[in-house]
Structure 1
Amino acid sequence: MRLIIGGAHQGKLRWILQQTGYTESDVAVSLDEARHLPILNSLHQLVRDLLEKGISPQAEIEALLRDHSELIVLCDEIGCGVVPMDAFERSWREETGRICCWLAERAVRVDRVFCGTATCIKREVET
């Protein structure tokens, strides 16, 4: 699994499509689509949708990765800036951050994209 993080509208999707040769038709925005496609875009929004439905995002993402370990996951960084006053907004932000930490621990590679340029912040070395 690979994790790509960065701010909103910073070119994460365009960058990974250029790197992999995939097209927008290879990009999922829901759990159901992610079971069959190589890229999951907007993890932060998926976490929000699951929380709103009362479903554990962590459990759903763990189950997804058990069956789809080669998935490329893209997530907006939403933990920077002013802490929201709304309790749900704080919960969403914290849950997304925890899931990204969990994903980064397990990822073979983590990249941060800023202004369309990626910086590799983790790369597993094959021995």
Structure 2
Amino acid sequence: MTLIIGGAHQGKLNYALAQTNLTKAQVTQGSTCSVSDVQNIVVLNGLHRVIKRLIQQGDDPHAYVERLLVNNPEVIIITDEIGCGVVPLERFERDWRETTGRICCSLAQNAQRVERVFCGIATVLKGESL
């Protein structure tokens, strides 16, 4: 599994596609995908959005990520860094950020590669670049 992190609109998806020769048709969008279907995901773009949707539905995002990795051990997971900046006033928003951060820490620990993309430029944090 590869984890790609970075701020919003920093070129994470374009970087992943350019490095792997995958197409946008192979990308599952976290904001619109079926959270019940974790089969055959090649690239998950927007893990933070899936986590938010799962929490809102009362589902366990940790269990979702476990199923995702079991079904797709070579998946590329792309997520925004959402834990920086002003702490939200709303409890839900704080809980979402904390849950996403904890899941990303676990993913990074177990990933073959972790890369951070800033302004379209990747920095390898763990492993070799794509």
**Alignment TM-score > 0.5, same fold:** yes
Matches within 5 A, 1:33-52: 34-52=38-56
Q: Percent identical across equivalent pairs?
A: 52
CA distance in 2, matches of 1:33, 1:70: 17
- The alpha carbon displacement at 1:33 in A equals 5.9
- The alpha carbon displacement at 1:103 in A equals 0.3
Residues 7-37 of structure 1 show CA distances to partners (whole Å, capped at 9, x for unaligned) of: 0000000000000000100101234565223
Are positions 1:98 and 2:102 aligned together?
yes
Match of 1:88?
A: 92
* Equivalent AA in structure 2 for residue 80 of structure 1: C
Matches within 5 A, 1:22-41: 22-29=22-29, 30=33, 31=35, 34-41=38-45
Relative to structure 1, is the Cα distance of residues 55 and 41 closer, same or farther in structure 2, using a 3 angstrom cutoff? Answer: same
Moved segments of 4+, more than 4 Å: none
Are positions 1:110 and 2:114 aligned together?
yes
C-alpha RMSD of the superposition? 1.2
Match of 1:15?
A: 15
Gaps of 5+ in 1: none
Gaps of 5+ in 2: none
Match of 1:74?
A: 78
| TM-score (structure 2 length as normaliser) | 0.91
- The alpha carbon displacement at 1:67 in A equals 1.6
